[in-house]
Chains A and B, each alone.
Chain A
Amino acid sequence: MSETVSITIDGRTVAVPAGQLLIKAAEDAGTYIPRFCWHSRMKPVGMCRMCLIEVEGPRGTLLTTSCTMPVTEGMVVHTKSEVVRKAQEGVLEFLLINHPLDCPVCDRGGECPLQDQTLAHGPGESRFVEEKRHFPKPIPINDLVLLDRERCILCARCTRFSEEISGDPLIEFVDRGNHTQVNTFPDEPFASYFSGNTVQICPVGALTATPYRFRARPWDLEAVESTCAGCAVGCRVSVQAAQNEVVRLLGVDVGATNQGWLCDKGRFGFEYLRAPGRLSTPLVRGEDGELREATWGEALDRAASGLAAVLSEHGPAAIAGIGGARSTNEEAYAFGKLLRSVIGTGSLDARVGDGLDAALAVGGTGRIDDLERAKTILVWAPDLKEELPVLHLRVRRAATELGATLIVVHPRRTGLDPDADHVVHYRPGDGFSVLDRLRAGADDLAPVAAALAAGPVVAIVGRTGLTEPPDLASAVAEFAASLPGAAVLPVTRRGNLYGALDMGLAPTLLPGRASAEDEAARAALADAWGSPVPAPGRDADGILQGLADGSVKALVLLGADPAADHPDRASAEAAVAAAGFVVSFDLFLNDSNRGADVVLPVEGFSEVEGTMTNLEGRVQKVNRIVPGPGLSRPAVEALDDLAARLGRSLGGGADAMAKEIALAAPAYAGITWEALDWGRGRDGMIATLAGGAAAPAPAVFQRSVAPAEGMALHLARVLYDEGTMTLAGPAFAPLIKAAMLHLHSDDATRLGLAEGSTAVLTGSRGSTELAWTRDDSLAPGTAYLPFGLGVSVGAAVSVTVAPGDGSGER
Chain B
Amino acid sequence: MTDSILFARMEAHPADSHTLARYEATGGYAALRKALAMPPEEVIAEVKASNIRGRGGAGFPTGVKWGFLPPDIRPRYLVVNADESEPGTFKDRQLLERDPHQLVEGIVISAYALDVEHAFVYVRGEYPRPARRLQRAVDEARAAGYLGRDVLGTGRNIEITVHLGAGAYICGEETALLNSLEGKRGEPRIKPPFPAIAGLYAKPTIVNNVETLSNVPWIVANGGAAYDAIGPEGSRGTRLFSLSGHVERPGNYEIVMGMSWRDLIFGLGGGIRSGKQLKCWIPGGASAPWFVPALHLDEPVTIDDTGRLGSMLGSGAVVVMDETTNVVAAALSVVRFFAHESCGECTPCREGTSWLQRILERILGGAGRPADLDLLLDVSDNISPGLRWPPAMTTICPLGPSVVSPITSIMSHFRDEVAAMIPGAVTAGV
Contacts and interface: CB of A to CB of B under 8 A. Distances in A.
Nearest to B394: A87
Contacts of A570: none
A44 B193 CA distance: 13
Contacts of B358: 130
Contacts of B353: 177-178
A71 to B, nearest CB: 14
Given A45-B190, A49-B395, A83-B385, A177 B347 contact: no
B394 A91 contact: yes
B369 to A, nearest CB: 8
B111 to A, nearest CB: 31
B124 to A, nearest CB: 17
B382 A90 contact: yes
Contacts of B354: 177-178
A135 to B, nearest CB: 14
B348 A90 contact: yes
Given A97-B351, A178-B353, A47 B345 contact: yes
A86 B385 contact: yes
Contact of B347 (A49, A68, A86, A129): A49
B385 A87 contact: yes
A223 interface: no
A50 B355 CA distance: 18
Given A86-B381, A173-B185, A94 B352 contact: yes
A442 B48 CA distance: 57
Contacts of A44: 190
Given A86-B381, A127-B375, A130-B358, A177 B394 contact: no
Nearest to A62: B392
Nearest to B386: A83
B342 interface: yes
Given A87-B382, A179-B344, A68 B190 contact: yes
A287 interface: no
A178 B347 contact: no
B347 A95 contact: yes
Given A49-B394, A175-B344, A63 B352 contact: no
B190 A94 contact: no
A776 to B, nearest CB: 27
Contacts of A68: 190
Contact of A49 (B339, B346, B355): B346
Contacts of B185: 173
B350 A46 contact: no
Nearest to A36: B347
Contacts of B331: none
Given A49-B347, A63-B393, A128 B342 contact: no
B392 A176 contact: no
B396 A176 contact: no
Interface in A143-164: 153-154
A280 interface: no
B382 A86 contact: yes
Given A98-B351, A173-B185, A47 B385 contact: no
Interface string B359-383: 0001000000101000100010111
A577 B352 CA distance: 71
Interface string A381-413: 000000000000000000000000000000000
Interface in A487-541: none
Interface string A164-186: 00000000010111111000000
A95 B351 contact: yes
Given A87-B394, A177-B354, A48 B375 contact: no
Given A63-B393, A94-B352, A154 B344 contact: yes
B340 interface: yes
A93 interface: yes
A154 B341 CA distance: 17
Given A94-B347, A154-B344, A177-B343, A46 B190 contact: yes
B147 interface: no
B394 A97 contact: no
B211 to A, nearest CB: 27
B168 A178 contact: no
Interface size on B, as a range, is 35 or more
Contacts of A129: 369
Given A45-B190, A63-B394, A130-B358, A91 B342 contact: no
A127 B346 CA distance: 20
A543 interface: no
A154 B343 CA distance: 12
Q: Max chain A CB contacts within 10 Å: which of B339, B347, B375, B379?
A: B347
Given A173-B344, A178-B339, A94 B351 contact: yes
Interface string A119-133: 000000001111000
Contacts of B385: 63, 83, 86-87
A85 to B, nearest CB: 11
Given A90-B381, A177-B342, A178-B342, A153 B347 contact: yes
B350 to A, nearest CB: 6
Given A49-B348, A91-B394, A177 B341 contact: yes
Contact of B340 (A93, A94, A98, A177): A177
Contacts of A177: 339-344, 350, 353-354
A589 interface: no
Interface string A74-95: 0000000001001101110111
Contact of B344 (A45, A50, A52, A176): A176
Contacts of B347: 47-50, 91, 94-95, 153-154
Contacts of B339: 177-178
Contacts of A93: 382
A81 B375 CA distance: 22
Given A45-B190, A177-B344, A180-B344, A94 B382 contact: yes
Contacts of A45: 190
Contacts of B371: 127
Interface in A28-51: 44-50
Interface in B9-39: none
Given A176-B342, A177-B344, A52 B375 contact: no
A153 B355 CA distance: 16
Interface in B165-207: 168, 170, 185, 190
Q: Max chain A CB contacts within 10 Å: which of B340, B341, B346, B352?
A: B346
A90 B342 CA distance: 18
Contacts of B375: 127
Contacts of A63: 385, 392-394
A277 to B, nearest CB: 48
A127 to B, nearest CB: 6
Contacts of B379: 90
A177 B347 CA distance: 10
Contacts of B352: 94
A98 B106 CA distance: 48
Interface string B323-345: 00000000000000001111111
A134 to B, nearest CB: 14
Contacts of A179: 344
A485 to B, nearest CB: 29
Nearest to B344: A180
Nearest to B399: A177
B382 A154 contact: no
A179 B355 CA distance: 13
11 contacts: A46-B346, A46-B396, A49-B396, A83-B385, A90-B383, A94-B352, A130-B362, A154-B344, A176-B343, A177-B350, A178-B339
Closest 3 pairs (CB-CB, A-B): A90-B382, A180-B344, A94-B351
Interface of A: 44-50, 52, 63, 65, 68, 83, 86-87, 89-91, 93-95, 97-98, 127-130, 153-154, 173, 175-180
Given A46-B346, A154-B347, 18 more contacts: A45-B190, A48-B347, A49-B347, A49-B394, A49-B395, A63-B392, A63-B393, A91-B382, A94-B347, A94-B352, A94-B355, A173-B185, A177-B339, A177-B343, A177-B350, A178-B344, A178-B353, A178-B354
